Amino acid sequence: MMKTKTPKQRTILWADDDPDDRHIICDIVAAHYSNYALTCVEDGSEVLRFLHNIKDTADLPCLVVLDINMPKLTGLETLERIKGDERYKDLKVAVFTTSSSKQDRQVCERHGVPMATKPYSYSDFKHAVAEMLQLCHVSNTI
């Protein structure tokens, strides 16, 4: 698990089993978003363990980003568990994946979770990460 955090930073929990993608994401966040602390994990079971260890809901991440194709617990299995747990009803979740499956997209839509396809160029990756981070600013209240 990779972690970086200083006071007044909002936490983002990012799950991706690809070390190159994790490295790129960490570089982008560290270089351009000092107001966020990024914790990267390799699979959905680590996401759930991270969330379950948080005692105060005020300390939950402002965003959880899931890759779909991960070992142990896939992104969609993790999404189902998060959305099925009352403690995480207000938790922002997004899916960032290589999948272009219509079924995967439908699962995300059913849960009100955006799904973005991983780009190939660094500049497109940077833009995609920026869009994901905007989800931290979206309020759940009406």
Q: What is the pLDDT of residues 77-122, one digit of tens each?
A: 999 999 999 999 889 999 999 888 899 999 999 999 999 989 888 8
What architecture is domain 2-137? 3-Layer(aba) Sandwich (3.40)
Does residue 17 surpass a pLDDT of 90?
yes
* Structure confidence at residue 5 (pLDDT): 52
Instruction: Tally the C-alpha atoms within 13 A of residue 34's C-alpha that lie toward its C-beta.
Output: 1
* Structure confidence at residue 139 (pLDDT): 44
Q: What is the pLDDT of residues 25-68, one digit of tens each?
A: 888 988 888 888 999 999 999 999 999 999 888 889 999 999 99
25: which 2 tokens?
Answer: 């994401």
* Structure confidence at residue 1 (pLDDT): 59
In the chain, where the domains are located = 2-137
Taking the chain, what is the end-to-end CA distance rounded to the nearest angstrom? 35
* Structure confidence at residue 9 (pLDDT): 80
128: which 2 tokens?
Answer: 């995609």
Instruction: Tally the C-alpha atoms within 13 A of residue 60's C-alpha that lie toward its C-beta.
Output: 19
One DSSP character per residue, 78-115 reads HHHHHHT-GGGTT--EEEEES---HHHHHHHHHTT--E
Task: Pick 45 or 139 by higher pLDDT.
Answer: 45
Q: Give the distance from CA 107 to its chain's centroid.
A: 16
68: which 2 tokens?
Answer: 């779909």
Q: What is the pLDDT of residues 65-82, one digit of tens each?
A: 999 999 899 999 999 999
